[in-house]
Amino acid sequence: MNNAQDHAFTLDEIARRLGARLVGDGTRRVSGLATLSDAGPEDITFLANRAYLKFLPDTRAAAVLLHPSHADDCPTACLTMDNPYLGYAELSALFDPLTARDAPGIHPTAVVSASASLGKGVQVGPHAVIEDGARLGDRVIVGPGCVVGTDSVIGEGSRLHANVTVCHGVVIGKRAILHSSCVIGGDGFGFAHDGSRWHKIAQLGGVVLGDDVEVGSCSSIDRGALGDTVIGDDVKIDSQVQIAHNVQIGDHSALAGCVGIAGSTKVGRNCMLGGGVGLSGHLTLCDGVQVTGMSLVTNSIHKPGVYSSGTGAMSNALWRKNAVRFKQLDDIVKRLTRLEKKQRNR
């Protein structure tokens, strides 16, 4: 798909918006953004990763956004910035067809409670439901099929894509982006056992999302048992993530797809959790912790750095042998220790 034709900008305009230095003809217009190898003569492109430097000489793009150190290698107009990847982020917003299309208004099929309060320029899509006492800030966009529960608050400029569920008593900050079918504020998983069966513990807390939070499609952030589940400012959460009750995530942390965090665990600021990472409950991860994909963390981490667990893939034939040996590992060490003793006693 290519929605690039919806927008066109001169290189001068782009340089001004990005604060970039332009080398080349500022009156040339570009109407699309593409990769170095895919870009055509109507497109602007960027170079932010040295691995793609090899594509620079042959690019057909009208202009390339890149680091000043690569300007001499650029066969066409260029815009230079110290952080071209950041420039790419700004370019992507310029060329985003979604930003152009939104028209405020409440669709006639939406069900909006008389006791809900809606700010200026709010858009509520077809079949969306806004329950009693909910408050939507200015310019909030609620997509088709979304449900915003009783007494929940959505901060200004936030967008809920289609079929999002925000349960009752949830507080969402400004400029949130919630993707389709994510659920904010479903019950946490709490039960007391009487010796023979489970008794539900009603989940009386809420969920509080800071400003600039993004949540991917089909992700779940559960409400607190007592007290809230708290997601800090500028936290980015990918698709298929599970965040259990009373978890706390510090500002600017990023969680990749399929991460699961068990109840009451605290993740610090500026942490990064790779895809499929699992954190046990009641842990504390300090600021600046990175955990690589599919690692299991069962103890708190008090020192910034990169952490990992598991084993990488190998041929199944080799793996079968090694996995059996893993089950014998403690015995293997005992055998080794015995040998060492004999050696020493000689």
Q: Which of 71, 89, 91 is nearest to 22 (CA)?
A: 71
Residues designated as active site: 245
Among 65, 122, 129, 209, binds a second copy (CB under 8 A): 129
Residues 6+ apart with CB under 8 A from 64: 36, 44, 45, 46, 47, 56, 74, 76, 77, 78, 79
User: Is residue 341 near a second copy by the rule CB under 8 A?
Assistant: no
Stretches 13-21, 60-68, 115-123, 241-249: which one binds a second copy (CB under 8 A)?
Answer: 241-249
**Residue nearer to a second copy on the CB measure, 15 or 46:** 46
Stretches 23-31, 71-79, 116-124, 193-201: which one binds a second copy (CB under 8 A)?
Answer: 193-201
Cβ neighbours around 329 below 10 Å, total: 9
Q: Are 123 and 142 in contact (CB under 8 A)?
A: yes
**Residue nearer to a second copy on the CB measure, 68 or 189:** 189
Site size with a second copy, rule: CB under 8 A: 145
**Residue nearer to a second copy on the CB measure, 25 or 102:** 102
Among 58, 114, 327, 345, binds a second copy (CB under 8 A): 327
Residues 102-121 interacting with a second copy (rule: CB under 8 A): 107, 109, 111
Q: Rounded CA gap, 127 and 145, in Å?
A: 5
Among 10, 31, 150, 284, binds a second copy (CB under 8 A): 150
Q: Rounded CA gap, 241 and 262, in Å?
A: 11
Helical axes 84-94 vs 11-18, angle rounded to 10° = 120
Q: Are 272 and 251 in contact (CB under 8 A)?
A: no
Among 71, 106, 286, 296, binds a second copy (CB under 8 A): 296
Stretches 17-25, 54-62, 114-122, 319-327: which one binds a second copy (CB under 8 A)?
Answer: 319-327
Residues 5-44 interacting with a second copy (rule: CB under 8 A): 33-35, 38
**Residue nearer to a second copy on the CB measure, 8 or 323:** 323
Least Å from the CB of residue 157 to a second copy: 13
**Residue nearer to a second copy on the CB measure, 129 or 136:** 129
Q: Are 305 and 323 in contact (CB under 8 A)?
A: no
User: Is residue 278 near a second copy by the rule CB under 8 A?
Assistant: yes
Q: For the window 64-83, what string marks contact with a second copy as x by the rule CB under 8 A?
A: -------------------x
Least Å from the CB of residue 54 to a second copy: 15
Q: Rounded CA gap, 217 and 85, in Å?
A: 24
Residues 204-223 interacting with a second copy (rule: CB under 8 A): 204-206, 212, 214, 216-220, 222
Token couple for 311: 């084993």
Token couple for 113: 């409670």
Cβ neighbours around 119 below 10 Å, total: 15
Helical axes 316-327 vs 329-345, angle rounded to 10° = 70
Q: Rounded CA gap, 186 and 220, in Å?
A: 7
**Residue nearer to a second copy on the CB measure, 156 or 228:** 228
Least Å from the CB of residue 29 to a second copy: 18
Q: Are 288 and 268 in contact (CB under 8 A)?
A: yes
